[in-house]
Chains A and B, each alone.
Chain A
């Protein structure tokens, strides 16, 4: 009897945990290429947590984890635009609004609509994005591509370089999550 109860508790615990998926090595790339210069950065240490039961979705991004090909670009990104000493993190806290359309138990590509609060440069805005949840071998992969306006987040482009940097930044998200143990 005790053994059966213990097995049942273990089963319930495993089921509960399987509802939460996470990674700390998700990828977010951005491009702000203007008329003259290619400006791209990538961060492959993005933390992401998804609750497949409630649909809640969290992203935590360290700004200094973005890497660039060019030294000067990295310095300008951190010091002049993102002010990463003052605002070291960006985050997203929201949920998948069409959760019923996603079967986490079955492999496939599922369109996903996400709403929530995006915080960049200390400014928080309500946002809506579209993307995909790809289920493969029980692991969800989150993919999305969207744009944000720098001005919406209080990021000012000096007049001298306004042609070099695009006013809207294209962001690509790609995170493969694993069930939390």
Chain B
């Protein structure tokens, strides 16, 4: 085998490996956080109080993985997704949790009124400044049940 052929094969191999790495990177599925430890665990009241009294502290949690202990106020299901809303009837304020599609099955037994600990990434929050009557809302996505 001549040197020229060897170099060509090496270059082709490097290109092929680089291609596979790029393809894997581009097509990497969204992270699954079900086995990741949350940065912190809060009660429903504790994290909602941050929205009323300490928004800068809450803002620092946006995009962080946290777990929240609360009671299920509402479950919304369709053919492809499940959303769980934590809260209670005494307040319009609530936490909405978009259950990760990969963990729909483990949430199928959930019922309204059930105490639960849900883990997810904080996507943002809405403070009912316009007094629309919606209360304050914390939004979490990529959610799953916290096992611990």
Interface residues, chain A, with chain B CB atoms under 8 Å away: 20, 22-25, 27, 42-45, 47, 49, 58, 60, 62-65, 67-72, 74, 88-89, 174, 176, 180-181
| Set B29, B31, B124: member contacting A64, Cβ < 8 A | B124
B57 within 8 A of A: no
Q: Contacts of B142 on A, CB cut-off 8 Å? A: 67
As a 0/1 sequence over residues 81 to 125 of chain B, the CB contacts with chain A under 8 angstroms (1 = contact) are 101010001001010101000000000000000000000000111
CB distance from B115 to the nearest CB of A (A): 20
Which residues of B, 124-138, contact A by the 8 Å Cβ criterion?
124-126, 132-134, 137
Q: Contacts of B78 on A, CB cut-off 8 Å? A: 27, 174
A42, A65, A176 — most chain B CB neighbours (10 Å): A65
Q: Contacts of B96 on A, CB cut-off 8 Å? A: 24-25, 45
CB-based contact B139/A67 at 8 Å: no
CB-based contact A49/B134 at 8 Å: yes
CB-based contact A70/B27 at 8 Å: yes
Query: In terms of DSSP, what is the predominant structure of the interface of chain A?
Result: strand
The 4 closest A-B pairs by CB, nearest first: A62-B124, A64-B123, A25-B83, A65-B123
Complex formed: what's the CA distance from A64 to B59 in Å? 13
CB-based contact B98/A62 at 8 Å: no
Complex formed: what's the CA distance from A65 to B76 in Å? 16
Q: Contacts of A89 on B, CB cut-off 8 Å? A: 124, 126
B26, B76, B85, B92 — most chain A CB neighbours (10 Å): B76
Interface residue total, chain B, C-beta cutoff 8 A: 31
Complex formed: what's the CA distance from A173 to B76 in Å? 15
B81, B83, B139, B142 — most chain A CB neighbours (10 Å): B139
| Set A20, A25, A62: member contacting B133, Cβ < 8 A | A20
CB-based contact A47/B123 at 8 Å: no
B78, closest chain A residue (CB): A27
B26, B30, B62 — most chain A CB neighbours (10 Å): B30
- Extra inter-chain contacts (8) besides given A24-B134, A64-B124, CB under 8 Å: A25-B76, A44-B83, A44-B98, A49-B133, A67-B98, A70-B28, A72-B28, A176-B76
Q: Would A74 and B30 be within 8 Å (CB), given that A27-B78, A89-B124 are in contact? A: yes
Q: Contacts of B27 on A, CB cut-off 8 Å? A: 70
B74 within 8 A of A: yes
| Set B85, B89, B141: member contacting A181, Cβ < 8 A | B89
CB-based contact B126/A62 at 8 Å: yes
Q: Contacts of B123 on A, CB cut-off 8 Å? A: 45, 62, 64-65
CB distance from A44 to the nearest CB of B (A): 5
CB-based contact A180/B83 at 8 Å: no
